[in-house]
Structure 1
Amino acid sequence: MKNICILFMGIFLLCITGCSEDQNITRQLKVTETHADFDCFGGTGTIQFKSSVPVTVSSSDEWCKVSQTGETITLEVAPNLKINSRTAIVCLKSTTEETIVPVSQLGDILYNDFSNVNVSAAGGETTFHVKSNHEIIFENVDTSWITITQEGETVTVKAAPLPKGVRENVIRIKAGEHQMEIVFKQVNITGPYNCFINGGKTAYGTCTIETTQEEDVYRVTPKGSSFDAPYKILYRNGKLSIPFGQYLGQYSGNPPFVYLCAYDKKGRLSWGAEVSYEADFTLDENNRAVLTFKDNGSWSGQHIDGFYYGQFNNLLEKGGTTTGAGIAAIVDLVWISQ
């Protein structure tokens, strides 16, 4: 029993001595500060360390070069031309210790503020900003009306005036493994039109389309129609639409308030603002703009055949409603530029 106690005491003393020795070990090499995270364009960074003994430094990859001055390591990171991120390891080594610092870099990115552009009929200039490790390539440019120049990180796109009609250019942009598309649209629907009903068979006067201060909103002024009051027309996604529920003014009849209403040939009306009459913008063989208005499904359960100058007993915002009476129905509209 005495021998066993002596054995346990010896082991206990050995453990105490070992713990004491571990606690007295002082690290001679310590990293104190790192600036080692990079975007795809690379650049320089630093690693700061403290050491009481000489230290050698190495990097695991060619794209991350290291140099040492005293207790400062300078990192020189090359641009990353691939879309995947990457990591290099910088190793600090003394005669007794070794420590590593990861250097991370993001994958290649095409920085830009490109966007689709609606160009005015008068043409104009649009400026974008772009930055890439690669040459910026522009493809499918319609040089008959689009000119692109680049100076540094600034890209300038110039569009020529459009006398009449609609045109569009989808431009493809490439840089390394990246590519994207932007769309330039130019519209000139302004000017005088001859107006027809019954699918173009019957003339009913003229109208003039003019721009407004609102983008893609135009003013239509009819002449020789049943009620020559101006109203607005919208241009969206290559189509023109007449929104209904527009107040046109007062009429000499009774009731006097006139609203533009959707009309079907069964005599039903709608003045909901969500309902509209739509036309594609095309050019005929004589380069004349042709607007042929058709139902677009916006009037749920009904078919839009035209519009109606509806007479209301008061303004809508004051609770006015139609009695079903009106000035005239204009059906199957076709407008052709003069």
Structure 2
Amino acid sequence: MKKIINILILALCTMVVGCGDDDDAVKSPELTVISTDAQFTYKGGTGLIKVLATSAVEATAADSWCHISVSDQDISLSVDLNTSISSRTTMVTIRSANARTEVPVTQLGDTFICDLKDVTFAPAGGDATFSLDTKRDVKVTVPQWITYRKDENQIIFTAPAIQDGGYRTSTVVIDDGSVAYTAEFTQMNLNGVYDMLFTNGGKRYAALCKVESTGEANVYQLTTKGMPVDAAFLATYSEGHLVVSFGQYLGDIDPYKVYLCAYDNVGTLGWGTTVQYVAPIATDENYNMIFVFADNGTWQGQHVDGFYYGAFTGTPSSSTYKGGYGTATDIVMQTHLTESTD
């Protein structure tokens, strides 16, 4: 029995000694990657791989577009521009005296990002700037009246001033052969002199209308010469339309006050300020503007066919209405092609 106990004690001591030897053999890794900055856009740039090593390290890249430099335990990356639309990956191999590891370096393919959108240039002209993030060989298509230049990650379009009464609209395209961005560029100058064609008493007449900007954005003063009553009134530009609202005071013709009223060919007139006569902006082949006025449904139960110059003793109402000074229906304005403003 004593002999058995001695044998067990000896075996236990052997196990303890054996465990102690195994623990002494566990060592820290000789090469550990502790941080990685190795993902790049198509533009390339610099990154860094940090390692922890027990001996000097060296590093190499599998592809020439990734350049390596080593300083102590820092591995600096310098990645070239990627002109391809495809992403790419290379492996950086890091070695120490007795260890080796690999780190992937990835780079996106060239992007084509542009925020091109529709533009309406002021009559004086100006610039419109958009982002253009690409190194691809893109084709920019512009009309003759637009110029452009590229500046870093932007493209800048420039429109010159436009003459009075001018209107132009064109499509601009930025295209890389597979993806295209398009937009409509428009420029107009409503200021100027127009022929105002109208019907009165079954006959067609032509007057002149001078359009001038006011101090309020998109609001214009129209002054006529040759209409049943020559006066100034206001019109508003809105979403490609010239809008005349009724109930406007035009001045006095003693002893009455004259207001611009809506007229229906059945003989009805109205002076509500929410009633409108509207013309979309159109042009002929020479970009001369044409406005054909029409009803837009704002006169409930009636149809706006033109102007009526109403005479009133005060604010327009049935009780102050005293007749009128004539009608002008089926009104069309078009750019006056000879200079005569007064």
Identify whether the pair has TM-score above 0.5, normalized to the shorter chain: yes
Q: Distance in 1 between matches of 2:235 and 2:280?
A: 14
Structure 2: stretches of 5+ with no match in the other structure: 1-7, 337-342
1:71 paired residue number: 73
SS of the residue 1:333 aligns to: strand
Distance 1:134 1:275, change over 3 A: same
Give the counterpart letter for 1:133 in structure 2: K
Q: Distance in 2 between matches of 1:42 and 1:103?
A: 11
C-alpha contact 1:212 1:218 (8 A) present in aligned 2 = yes
C-alpha contact 1:244 1:274 (8 A) present in aligned 2 = yes
* Residues 284-295 of structure 1 aligned to structure 2 (within 5 Å): 289-295=289-295
Give the counterpart letter for 2:92 in structure 1: V
* Residues 193-272 of structure 1 aligned to structure 2 (within 5 Å): 193-198=194-199, 201-203=203-205, 205-214=207-216, 216-223=218-225, 224-226=227-229, 228-234=231-237, 236-237=239-240, 240-244=241-245, 247-248=248-249, 258=259, 263-266=263-266, 267=268, 269=270, 271=272
Q: Distance in 2 between matches of 1:289 and 1:56?
A: 73
Per-residue deviation, residues 130-179 of structure 1 (Å, max 9, x unmatched): 4531344322x333x33334466665544344444322221222347543
Q: Distance in 1 between matches of 2:25 and 2:246?
A: 86
* Residues 120-131 of structure 1 aligned to structure 2 (within 5 Å): 120-124=122-126, 126=128, 130-131=132-133
Q: Distance in 1 between matches of 2:156 and 2:116?
A: 11
* Residues 33-182 of structure 1 aligned to structure 2 (within 5 Å): 33-59=35-61, 61-83=63-85, 85-94=87-96, 97-110=99-112, 114-124=116-126, 126=128, 130-139=132-141, 141-143=142-144, 145-150=145-150, 155-163=155-163, 164-175=165-176, 177-182=178-183
Give the counterpart letter for 1:46 in structure 2: L
Work out which of the two has the higher radius of gyration on C-alpha atoms and give 1 or 2.
2
Give the counterpart letter for 1:233 in structure 2: T
Residue 234 of structure 1 deviates from its aligned partner by 0.9
Per-residue deviation, residues 264-319 of structure 1 (Å, max 9, x unmatched): 4453748465855123423389x86432212345667764433456789998xxxx
SS of the residue 1:53 aligns to: coil
TM-score, length of structure 1 as denominator length: 0.70
Q: Once superposed, what is the RMSD of the aligned Cα atoms?
A: 4.5
Give the counterpart letter for 1:230 in structure 2: F
Per-residue deviation, residues 187-218 of structure 1 (Å, max 9, x unmatched): 23322223222399522743211234555443
SS of the residue 1:80 aligns to: coil
Give the counterpart letter for 2:147 in structure 1: T
SS of the residue 2:293 aligns to: strand
Distance 1:17 1:329, change over 3 A: farther
Aligned-residue identity in percent: 29
SS of the residue 2:196 aligns to: strand
* Residues 178-193 of structure 1 aligned to structure 2 (within 5 Å): 178-193=179-194
Per-residue deviation, residues 243-274 of structure 1 (Å, max 9, x unmatched): 4266436657999694x565544537484658
Distance 1:246 1:58, change over 3 A: farther
C-alpha contact 1:196 1:335 (8 A) present in aligned 2 = yes
Give the counterpart letter for 2:198 in structure 1: I
Q: Distance in 2 between matches of 1:47 and 1:79?
A: 20
C-alpha contact 2:174 2:181 (8 A) present in aligned 1 = yes
Q: Distance in 1 between matches of 2:327 and 2:190?
A: 25
Residue 129 of structure 1 deviates from its aligned partner by 6.0
C-alpha contact 1:257 1:314 (8 A) present in aligned 2 = no
2:340 paired residue number: none
Residue 26 of structure 1 deviates from its aligned partner by 2.0
1:3 paired residue number: none
Q: Distance in 2 between matches of 1:295 and 1:275?
A: 7
Q: Distance in 1 between matches of 2:300 and 2:83?
A: 54
Give the aligned length: 317
Give the counterpart letter for 2:290 in structure 1: V
Structure 1: stretches of 5+ with no match in the other structure: 1-5, 316-320
Q: Which moved more, 1:145-154 or 1:224-233?
A: 145-154
SS of the residue 1:248 aligns to: strand
